[in-house]
């Protein structure tokens, strides 16, 4: 336990820990001080922080660009929702099936790509292809609702609400907060361990990494398996929070893009990047919505254009993302 | 004494070009051997075959009595074969220390232990005070040192150095020569080096293998080689011209 805690703290800059504790404390009391609208946005922020963290393992740590992470979200969502709707299985149990489904898909993609040296843009295309195939497959699968969608009954009797994840937004808030906190801790552990060093090494130069004893295939497989396993619970959350699933939506490429923007804008390969990116993007997009609504303007696709602009600004002025620049300002640089 | 490295009849072609042609030589434990030859002689290709970046078309490569010709590079590293690249390949986005830690992790999964090994290796190469810099911030000579420190951190029994001295100033070459000589003396590390800098070759090598057009044309002590007429014609002759 102390060893674990020691590794967690490790070489973290001394000011990071109090800051992290303050952030966590603020997030814990948030529902008591904000209204339901702000709470719903906080849930979104934490959701994107969570999936962003999971995706960051692939791209930020191991340098493998996945543009099809909606596949793991969707598989996770459908696996847990189908078990719940058809068999009354609680999502906490369904989550294991969700993770299993995501890992199975990731194993196929990883084995195909990494065994045959498919990398870079071609790997990204392969991940898109798998998500698209799955979307089309689910569209034509009536037992799970097909393109007409799968709906979760809103209330069930006899079981505790928490166990079945049927409850008010504040319950979902604490669930996603716990998930985001665990994802953060897990990524931190991975990052400071051997696996984190090996991922960054193979991200930088595969041949040099191989010469230093790194089994490239194995470590790429670990990246995609861990990342997909971490992404699947986001799908479970999505299913039970929104109660409706459409293949068209959940497997869509837009969803894959949406979930990678946070870490890119926040800072690839950093632990705070996905959190900061999720916050900046979600909150600013919400503000934009409010402003447009107040002006009475109805602009379809405004959110996407806004995301595009954010990306443009960050790529031009802060190519490493917001967090590394902010960390320097706050004196939170990793000790060198 | 049995050889630590035994290369026998190894060949490799690229689209018809015989880059390495039936080359054989052996290296005893604790020995320092230099591989020399004009540009394009096949020296780097030979290293790639020994380290596992390439597989031979023909021939056997034995390390410590075991045939390693079919093993991947990472497996060979874990058996104790480390190499540097002629065109240095540091992990640019990682710090100097983290570069060396990656190497040291080949021997231990424990990052703290790997860090100690890494710092020892950096210290040997005189890079300890630059450990916090990003590898991309280093000068070329320092990158070469980092390349060596990283290879050394893997705890090798055989170190393959591909033109580690190229681009260094004479005083830096002398420094590097003494680092390698000390390493060999203190730890018994076996070293095979590809080198154009004859000053370093003569100071370090107990034996020299000469390659030309992919073939071994001579092998012997530095004194033998510098008198060998074939070598003088094909190599020193060109270099002097
Ligand atoms: N991957 C490759 N594909 C095709 N040809 C190659 C490859 N690697 C090396 N060669 C060719 O094989 C020959 C030997 O090259 P090699 O790099 O081994 O020479 P070298 O002795 O290391 O030369 P230098 O002193 O310039 O480093 C050259 O003609 C080179 O062009
Ligand atoms: Mg060469």
Query: Does A155 have pLDDT greater than 70?
Result: no
Angle between helices A194-204 and B111-124 (to 10 degrees): 50
User: Contact at 8 Å (CB) between B130 and B142?
Assistant: yes
Query: Does A91 have pLDDT greater than 70?
Result: yes
Inter-chain CB proximity A211 and B82 less than 8 Å: yes
Taking the centre of ligand 2 as the mean of its atom positions, its distance from the CA of residue B42, in whole angstroms, is: 7
- For chain A, the average pLDDT equals 90
How many other C-beta atoms can be found within 10 angstroms of the C-beta atom of residue A14?
Answer: 10
SS3 B163: coil
pLDDT band at A157 (very low <50, low <70, confident <90, very high): low
- The highest-confidence range among A134-138, A140-144, A196-200, B220-224, by mean pLDDT, is A196-200
Structure tokens, A78? 């459908």
- For chain B, the average pLDDT equals 93
Q: Which residues of B touch A (CB under 8 A)?
A: 51-53, 72-74, 77-78, 82-83, 85, 89-95, 98, 101-103, 105-106, 109-111, 114, 131-133, 150-151, 154
Lowest mean pLDDT among A155-159, B164-168, B202-206: A155-159
Residue A335 in any domain: the answer is: no
The more confidently predicted of residues B193 and A311 is B193
Query: Does A291 have pLDDT greater than 60?
Result: yes
- How many inter-chain contacts (A to B, CB under 8 Å) are there? 85
Residue A188 in any domain: the answer is: yes
| Residues whose CB is less than 8 angstroms from the CB of residue B157 and which lie 6 or more positions away in sequence, other chains included | B4, B29, B64, B80, B81, B189, B190
Inter-chain CB proximity A212 and B92 less than 8 Å: no
Query: Does A87 have pLDDT greater than 80?
Result: yes
Average pLDDT over residues B231-240: 62
Share of chain A above pLDDT 90, in %: 68
Share of chain A above pLDDT 70, in %: 93
Query: Does A297 have pLDDT greater than 90?
Result: no
Tell me the nearest-neighbour CA distance from B73 into chain A, angstroms: 6
Beta strands in chain B (DSSP E): 5-14, 17-27, 32-36, 58-63, 66-67, 81-83, 158-162, 190-194, 207-212, 215-220
SS3 B29: coil
Query: Does A156 have pLDDT greater than 70?
Result: no
Report the first-to-last Cα separation within chain B, whole angstroms.
Answer: 41
pLDDT of residue B240: 45
Kindly identify which residue of chain A lies nearest to residue B99, measuring between CA atoms.
A201
pLDDT of residue B14: 96
pLDDT of residue A298: 78
Query: Does B239 have pLDDT greater than 60?
Result: no
pLDDT band at A305 (very low <50, low <70, confident <90, very high): confident
Q: In three state form, how does the secondary structure of chain A look?
A: CHHHHHHHHCCCCCCHHHHHHHHHHHHHHHHHHCCHHHHHHHHHHHHHHHHHHHHHHHHHHCCCCCCCCHHHHHHHHHHHHHHHHHHCCCHHHHHHHHHHHHHHHHHHHHHHHHHCCCCHHHHHHHHHHHHHHHHHHHHCCHHHCHHHCEECCCCCCCCCCCCCCCCCHHHHHHHHHHHHHHHHHHHHHHHHCHHHHHHHHHHHCHHHHHHCCCCHHHHHHHHHHHHHHHHHHHHHHHHHHHCEECHHHHCCHHHHHHHHHHHHHHCCCCCCHHHHHHHHHHHHHHHHHHHHHHHCCCCCCHHHHHHHHHHHHHHHHCCCCHHHHHHHHCCCCCCC
Distance CA A80, CA A87 (A): 10
Question: B109-150: per-residue pLDDT in tens?
Answer: 999 999 999 999 999 999 999 999 999 999 999 999 999 999
Tell me the nearest-neighbour CA distance from B26 into chain A, angstroms: 22
Query: Does B187 have pLDDT greater than 70?
Result: yes
Residue A336 in any domain: the answer is: no
Residue A102 in any domain: the answer is: yes
Distance CA B211, CA B100 (A): 32
The more confidently predicted of residues B237 and B37 is B37
Q: Is the CB of B42 under 6 A from ligand 1?
A: yes
Q: Is the CB of B238 under 6 A from ligand 1?
A: no
Residue A275 in any domain: the answer is: yes
Average pLDDT over residues B18-42: 96
ipTM of the shown complex: 0.93
pLDDT band at B235 (very low <50, low <70, confident <90, very high): low
Provide the chain A residues 168-207 that lie in CB contact (below 8 A) with chain B. Answer: 192-194, 197-198, 200-201, 203-205, 207
Q: Is the CB of B197 under 6 A from ligand 1?
A: no
Q: Is the CB of B59 under 6 A from ligand 1?
A: no
pLDDT of residue A311: 83
Average pLDDT over residues B224-231: 82
Residue A173 in any domain: the answer is: yes
User: Contact at 8 Å (CB) between B105 and A194?
Assistant: yes
Sign of CA dihedral A40, A41, A42, A46: positive
Query: Does A152 have pLDDT greater than 60?
Result: yes
| Ligand 1 atom closest to residue B38's alpha carbon, by position in its atom list | 25
Query: By alpha-carbon position, which residue is closest to atom 26 of ligand 1?
Result: B39
Question: A22-38: per-residue pLDDT in tens?
Answer: 999 999 999 999 999 99
Average pLDDT over residues B237-241: 48
Question: A202-239: per-residue pLDDT in tens?
Answer: 999 999 999 999 999 999 999 999 999 999 999 999 99
Distance CA A14, CA A335 (A): 9
The more confidently predicted of residues A5 and A148 is A148
Query: Does A3 have pLDDT greater than 70?
Result: no
- Structural domain including A274 reads 3-330
Question: How many domains in chain A?
Answer: 1
pLDDT of residue A336: 39
| B-chain residues near A200 (CB < 8 A) | 91, 93-94, 98, 102
Query: Does B214 have pLDDT greater than 90?
Result: yes
Average pLDDT over residues A103-132: 95
């Amino acid at each position: 336990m102390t060893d674990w805690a020691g590794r967690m703290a490790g070489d973290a800059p001394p000011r990071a820990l109090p800051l992290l504790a303050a952030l966590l404390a603020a997030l814990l009391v948030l529902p008591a001080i904000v209204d339901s609208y702000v709470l719903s946005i906080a849930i979104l922020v934490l959701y994107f922080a969570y999936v962003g963290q999971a995706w960051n393992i692939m791209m930020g740590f191991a340098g493998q660009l996945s543009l099809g992470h909606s596949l793991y979200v969707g598989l996770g969502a459908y696996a847990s929702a189908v078990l719940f709707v058809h068999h009354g299985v609680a999502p906490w149990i369904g989550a294991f099936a969700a993770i299993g489904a995501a890992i199975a898909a990731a194993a196929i993609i990883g084995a195909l790509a990494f065994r045959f040296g498919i990398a870079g843009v071609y790997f990204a295309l392969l991940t898109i292809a798998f998500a698209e195939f799955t979307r089309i497959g689910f569209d034509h699968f009536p037992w799970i609702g097909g393109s007409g969608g799968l709906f979760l009954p809103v209330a069930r009797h006899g079981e505790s609400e928490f166990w079945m994840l049927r409850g008010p937004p504040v319950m979902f808030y604490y669930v996603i907060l716990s998930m985001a906190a665990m994802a953060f801790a897990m990524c931190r552990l991975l990052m400071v361990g051997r696996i984190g060093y090996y991922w960054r090494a193979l991200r930088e130069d595969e041949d040099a990494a191989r010469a230093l004893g790194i089994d490239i295939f194995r470590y790429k497989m670990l990246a995609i398996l861990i990342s997909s396993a971490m992404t699947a619970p986001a799908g479970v959350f999505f299913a039970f929070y929104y109660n409706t699933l459409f293949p068209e939506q959940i497997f869509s490429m837009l969803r894959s893009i949406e979930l990678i923007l946070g870490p890119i804008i926040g800072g690839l390969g950093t632990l705070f990047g996905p959190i900061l990116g999720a916050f900046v993007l979600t909150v600013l997009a919400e503000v934009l919505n409010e402003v447009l609504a107040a002006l009475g303007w109805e602009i379809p696709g405004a959110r996407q254009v806004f995301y595009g602009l954010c990306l443009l600004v960050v790529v031009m002025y802060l190519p490493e993302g917001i967090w590394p620049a902010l960390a320097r300002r706050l004196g939170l640089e990793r000790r060198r | 004494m049995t050889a630590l490295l035994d290369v026998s009849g190894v060949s490799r072609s690229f689209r018809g070009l015989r880059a390495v042609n039936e080359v054989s030589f052996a290296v005893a434990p604790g020995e320092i051997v230099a591989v020399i030859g004009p540009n394009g002689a096949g020296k780097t290709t030979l290293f790639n075959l020994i380290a596992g970046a390439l597989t031979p078309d023909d021939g056997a490569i034995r390390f410590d009595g075991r045939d390693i010709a079919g093993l991947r590079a990472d497996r060979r590293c874990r058996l104790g074969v480390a190499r540097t690249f002629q065109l240095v390949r540091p992990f640019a986005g990682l710090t100097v220390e983290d570069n060396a830690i990656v190497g040291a992790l080949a021997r231990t999964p424990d990052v703290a232990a790997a860090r100690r090994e890494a710092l020892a290796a950096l210290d040997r190469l005189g890079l300890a005070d630059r450990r916090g810099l990003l590898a991309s911030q280093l000068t070329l000579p320092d990158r070469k040192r980092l390349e060596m420190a990283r290879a050394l951190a893997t705890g090798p029994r055989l170190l393959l150095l591909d033109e580690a001295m190229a681009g260094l100033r004479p005083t830096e070459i002398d420094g590097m020569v003494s680092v390698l000589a000390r390493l060999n003396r203190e730890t018994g590390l076996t070293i095979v080096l590809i080198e154009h800098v004859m000053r370093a070759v003569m100071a370090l090598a107990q034996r020299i293998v000469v390659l030309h057009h992919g073939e071994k044309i001579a092998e012997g002590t530095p004194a033998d080689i510098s008198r060998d007429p074939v070598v003088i014609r094909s190599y020193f002759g060109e270099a002097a011209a």
